[in-house]
Structure 1
Amino acid sequence: MTLEQTLKQIAPLDSEAMARAKYRWDSLSKPLHGLGDLEDLLIRIAGIRGTARMNLRRKCVVVMCSDNGVVEEGISQTGQEVTAIITESLSAGTSTVCHMARAAGADVIPVDIGVSREVKGDRILRRKIAYGTKNLYKEPAMTREQAVRAIEVGIETAYWCKQQGYDIVATGEMGIGNTTTTAAVVAALLHAPAELVTGRGSGLTTAGLEKKIRVVTEALEKWQPDQHDPVDILSKVGGFDLCGLTGMFLGGAACGLPMLIDGVISGAAALCAVRMCETVREYLIPSHHTAEPAGVLIEQALDVHPLIDAHMALGEGTGAVCLFGPLDMAASLYYNGNTFDDSNIEAYVPLV
């Protein structure tokens, strides 16, 4: 499905399904809204799925993997060869998120959307746009056509997940240098100074951070991305992984598949998706607060309130996977809990 077609498919959440889900929560023999945000999230998922009998049994994390040419500017502690190594370990089931996902009962789906070399692994979805982006410090990261195609890869992946029978999807990424591209994208979207949105990523000295800020600042000055055009921003200073994640959020909203936001990179993509279609905001399910400085600004811009605050900054979708457990526990009560009638207890009533 094309980007244009997808945007036309996105509709508001199913209010009837949400009302039924809220009625179910309120009928259970517990204090009203006793599980707080967890109740609200399941109500929202009912609205996304279009039914109060939504299923969360089949779970996966989709990890968009791509390289960024800006790494040659020395803005990362490691070289871009690490992207390919981790992509292959995602397929082999040995990367960090793989161990966490197994504990959560979720599958891991790596997507090669722009790794700088060919990668080996039977589980990798091969959707390579190019062998990494250009160096955004020297030239625009990609063409507008490449950005649109990468967004459409994300859209197609969301639909693929739905067709495979997944009920809920965590979003993740792997790409050395992508905290730099994310800082540039967020700075452009929010018209914020680079020093306010740029962090140390996987680990930089103070001198390294200062260089990273300078690279972001000068790239934005050179290419002047249009604040009101997310595709222009992504093409000039973004990455293929960011584009793919943007498409995942758009595709999830279009096909009724819940997508969990991970950290700052996933959050930046969600913000791009909302700027393309405001209705996507209703579909957003945040997982955790991120340690990157742009994270708080993204949460404010999206008006989301993540449940988990564990000072995580790993990527790969690890924070989003952590939300599967609490959602499963809440869903177990939602489906199996006794009602007030079952327990012969007088129902609670709202007092305000």
Structure 2
Amino acid sequence: MNDLSPQIPSFDTACAERVGRYLDTLTKPPGSLGRLESLAVTLAGISGEDFPRVTPPAVVVFAADHGVAEEGVSAFPQSVTAQMVVNFAAGGAAINVLARRLEARLEVVDVGVATAVSGPGVVHDKVRPGTGNLAREDAMSRDEARAAIEAGQRAAERAAKAGCRCLIVGEMGIANTTASSAILAVLTGAPVAELVGPGTGVAGEALAHKRSVIESAIAARGVDSEDPMDVLARLGGLEIAAMAGAYLGAAARRMPVLVDGFIATVAALIACRLDPALHPYLIFGHCSREPGHARALAALDADPLLDLALRLGEGSGAALAFPLLESATAILAEMATFADAGVDNRDGH
């Protein structure tokens, strides 16, 4: 790409290899800590540090509304987006509980809620009050998509300036699984029927209707699948664009990004199409129950850390995976080497 974000530094392969060799000197059989070891190597390559740190983490939840909610694609009314922002501000949502457990910095960003919202910790960076109804018009203009990406970059910059060492990004937006499914179908060429799930609880005839709305929207919008900004503008969401921007902004600062569920992974796919240099900075927290999530993960060649049958969003699955990153860095920093402990290694030395 990329005029949408600062230059993303190269993954530090030399540092990663050095840390891999160091792990083999610790008091354990080589590779016996499995993915904790590969996580430690990844975090070293991302940070360029032999002993990387991921605490404190930052959690940023982007909130925005979707005009396509008018088509009855969600089990909940659009008003729930603003109500949930108030709930986040009051500390009552699942991500609040999990962020407190992690002692994370939590920020809620209104990048496109249809109505005015306020509360402690809510950042107002609204591009427009909700997207257009993608079933009838483009979701937004390219300039608006760019503005939402830039809002996400500003959130990553605030987290970095606050001293945070890892970014967890969540979202809130009624009907955003519809937009995400449409984006994923265009970017991967997969049939909509294989991607679209219940979202907030749509089933039966309502689920068939949701699939039909997405198929019709893709056909009507005339999207250029080779142009990620065109895909984002015609079919996307303001919070999806902001998430992509946050990923790009974090990577530019050598901050690892812990990716959440379906919508977050679709945002990651868009961001990687915008700038492939982002990919090594992404760590995938979990695989959700949304059927499209596995397809989105596959498109990114991603192997998620957890599978807990989640489908909430908000950054909840990524937050649950964060302690694994903490453990990986602690192993590096605190375990004794064979030489330090006076323990013979497998060669008897």
Q: Note whether the superposition's TM-score is higher than 0.5.
A: yes
Task: Report the equivalent of 2:291.
Answer: 293
Write the mapping of 1:103-122 to structure 2, written as runs, cut at 5 A.
103-122=101-120
Correspondent of 2:195 among 177, 194, 197: 197
Distance 1:20 1:160 in 2: 31
Q: 2:16 matched to 1:4?
A: no
Correspondent of 2:140 among 124, 139, 142: 142
Distance 1:18 1:32 in 2: 16
Deviations 1:25-52 (A, max 9, x none): 2221012122211221221111111211
Cα offset, 1:329, TM superposition: 2.3
Secondary structure of the corresponding residue to residue 113 of structure 1: strand
Q: Give the residue type in structure 2 aligned to 1:142.
A: M
Q: Report which stretch shifted further, 203-212 or 12-21.
A: 12-21
Deviations 1:190-216 (A, max 9, x none): 122211111110101211110100110
Q: 2:175 matched to 1:185?
A: no
Distance 1:35 1:249 in 2: 28
Q: Give the residue type in structure 1 aligned to 2:333.
A: Y
Task: Report the equivalent of 1:66.
Answer: 64
The unaligned stretches of length 5 or more in structure 2 are none
Q: Report which stretch shifted further, 330-339 or 291-300.
A: 330-339
Q: Give the residue type in structure 2 aligned to 1:241.
A: E
Correspondent of 2:273 among 272, 275, 294: 275
Deviations 1:59-85 (A, max 9, x none): 121111111010011000001111111
Contact 1:3 / 1:152 at 8 angstroms: preserved in 2?
Answer: no
Correspondent of 1:36 among 34, 37, 58: 34
Task: Report the equivalent of 2:167.
Answer: 169
Contact 2:269 / 2:296 at 8 angstroms: preserved in 1?
Answer: yes
Correspondent of 1:128 among 121, 126, 129: 126
Correspondent of 2:82 among 84, 89, 96: 84
Distance 2:108 2:233 in 1: 22
Q: Give the residue type in structure 1 aligned to 2:288.
A: T
Identity of aligned residues (%): 36
Secondary structure of the corresponding residue to residue 226 of structure 1: coil
Contact 2:4 / 2:146 at 8 angstroms: preserved in 1?
Answer: no
State the superposition RMSD in angstroms.
1.5
Deviations 1:293-345 (A, max 9, x none): 11111111111101101111010000000111222223222211111112222
Contact 1:154 / 1:248 at 8 angstroms: preserved in 2?
Answer: yes
Contact 1:3 / 1:151 at 8 angstroms: preserved in 2?
Answer: no
Cα offset, 1:5, TM superposition: 5.3
Q: Give the residue type in structure 2 aligned to 1:294.
A: G
Specify whether residues 36 and 69 from structure 1 end up closer, same or farther in structure 2 by C-alpha distance, changes over 3 A only: same
Secondary structure of the corresponding residue to residue 22 of structure 1: helix
Cα offset, 1:24, TM superposition: 2.8
Distance 2:195 2:8 in 1: 30
Q: Give the residue type in structure 2 aligned to 1:110.
A: V
Secondary structure of the corresponding residue to residue 51 of structure 1: coil
Q: Give the residue type in structure 2 aligned to 1:248.
A: A
Task: Report the equivalent of 1:226.
Answer: 224
Q: Report which stretch shifted further, 18-27 or 256-265.
A: 18-27
Q: Give the residue type in structure 2 aligned to 1:155.
A: Q
The unaligned stretches of length 5 or more in structure 1 are none
Correspondent of 2:47 among 42, 46, 49: 49
Secondary structure of the corresponding residue to residue 312 of structure 1: coil
Distance 1:270 1:343 in 2: 43
Contact 2:65 / 2:113 at 8 angstroms: preserved in 1?
Answer: yes
Contact 1:262 / 1:288 at 8 angstroms: preserved in 2?
Answer: yes
Distance 1:189 1:62 in 2: 25
